Amino acid sequence: MTQTPLRLGVPVKILGNPELKSHDARRSTSAPHLKVSLGYLDQIFDYLAQHKIDMYRMSSDLAPYATHPDMPQFHAMVRESAAELAAAGEKARRLGLRLSFHPSQFIVLNSPDPELVRKSTWDLLSQAEMLDAMGLGPEAVLVVHVGGVYEDKDAARARWADTWTTLPEPVRRRLVLEHDDLRFSAQDVLWLHDHTGVRLIFDHQHFWCLNPEQADMRQTLERILHTWPEGVRPKVHFSSPRTELRQLVRKDRKTGKNVTVNAAPVWTGHADFVNPFEFITFMRVVEGLDFDVMLEAKSKDLALIKLRPDLVRYAPDVAQRFGLGAASQAQLDAEEAAILEQEPA
């Protein structure tokens, strides 16, 4: 067990306070700017501190249009915001916040199209420059997936390794690679680490959705954690699969009219909240390993606020790893009740 408590984090959108914005979402004609986004980010930092949430994934749209090829008027906004970025980074350090980016699915480094690779690299460089300008340490990372298969998985994987050698130094220093749930397994990204040295992220739900090698989970996680340098705490992603019946609108082939049909859940979909028993089981299986956890539940911060009292109630041993003691049960229950508008059990 580590002496420093493990952290739980949430991504981008804050649902506990709908007034909070993750970035300046105005259209280009309204001259959106990173400085505006950083003002919104400052308010999110206050919310996170209020609720003792110490890890956060920032919006990949924090600097709007900063790399849009047809809008050069926005290309300098990261440099123009140097003072504001430094102030944001100082506040994050003061609050003990671990920050990261997870660029969009349009960032593809193994595409056979060199122009798409070039644009993807530019986006990553812009985000790496923001993390550098904030003065953040090596725990602040850019998380990406391998990309597409393009009808030849081995060639696609090798192409990612070739692209790695062309990436700017700030990108290679910040980049971490995550296995996915449909194309590239944990063993695939371990192969890429062996060929490039890139750090890796373990995703619990992805591992269960795509593990054709039938690899052992704890052994796989240990190997992935060891891709991080000594003294830098890795992080993992955790989410529970959706289990609800889906109702889809489809066009009836005979009548041409829209009809509602029932469909089973897709196990790659994320649930609104974290199943506490799945999480507890995972944390006990990997007892003794050191990592922070980014929760990827669809209800974002609400899922974290719900999970903490569940851990104290059902698994004090796991709660202790996150710095949650039995004495905090009443406070956590009250916070959950207040933010989710329900009575504690």
Which percentage of the chain shows pLDDT scores above 90? 82
Both tokens assigned to 136? 């953040």
Residues sharing a CB contact under 8 Å with residue 52, sequence separation 6 or more, in sequence order? none
Kindly report, residue by residue over 9-21, the tens digit of the pLDDT. Answer: 999 999 999 999 9
pLDDT above 90 for 344: no
- Dihedral angle sign, alpha carbons of residues 283, 285, 291, 297: negative
pLDDT value of position 2:
42
Q: What is the mean pLDDT of residues 294-315?
A: 95
CB distance 186 to 219 below 8 Å: no
- Average pLDDT of span 205-214: 97
Q: What is the pTM of this model?
A: 0.91
Across 211-215, 268-272, 341-345, least confident range: 341-345
When pLDDT is averaged across residues 246-271 and rounded to a whole number, the result is 87
Q: Is pLDDT above 50 for 125?
A: yes
Mean pLDDT rounded to a whole number for the chain? 93
Of 147, 136, 54, 48, nearest to 89 by C-alpha is 136
Based on C-alpha coordinates, what's the Rg of the chain? 21
Q: What is the pLDDT of residue 326?
A: 66
**Model confidence pLDDT, tens digit, residues 141-198:** 999 999 999 999 999 999 999 999 999 999 999 999 999 999 999 999 999 999 999 9
Q: What is the pLDDT of residues 261-271, one digit of tens each?
A: 888 888 888 89
Cα three-residue angle 164-168-172, rounded to 5 degrees: 55
Structure confidence at residue 345 (pLDDT) = 44
For residue 192 the two structure tokens come to 């890429």
In the chain, what are the domains?
8-240+268-340 (3.20.20.150)
Query: What phi-psi label fits residue 168: left (phi over 0), alpha (psi between -120 and 50 degrees) or beta?
Result: beta
Beta strands at 235-238 and 199-203: parallel, antiparallel or unpaired? parallel
Higher pLDDT among residues 312 and 254, named by residue: 312
Q: What phi and psi values does residue 98 have, to the nearest 5 degrees?
A: -95, 125
**pLDDT, tens digit, for every residue of 65-115?**
999 999 999 999 999 999 999 999 999 999 999 999 998 888 999 999 999
Q: What is the pLDDT of residue 343?
A: 46
For the chain, the residue count is 345
| Buried residues in 47-74 as b, exposed as e (16+ CB within 10 A) | bbeebbbbbbbbbbbbbbbbbeeeeeeb
What the block records as the tokens of 121 is 């690299």
Tokens for 174, please give them: 């910040």
Where does the pLDDT of residue 1 fall: very low under 50, low under 70, confident under 90, or very high at 90 and above? very low
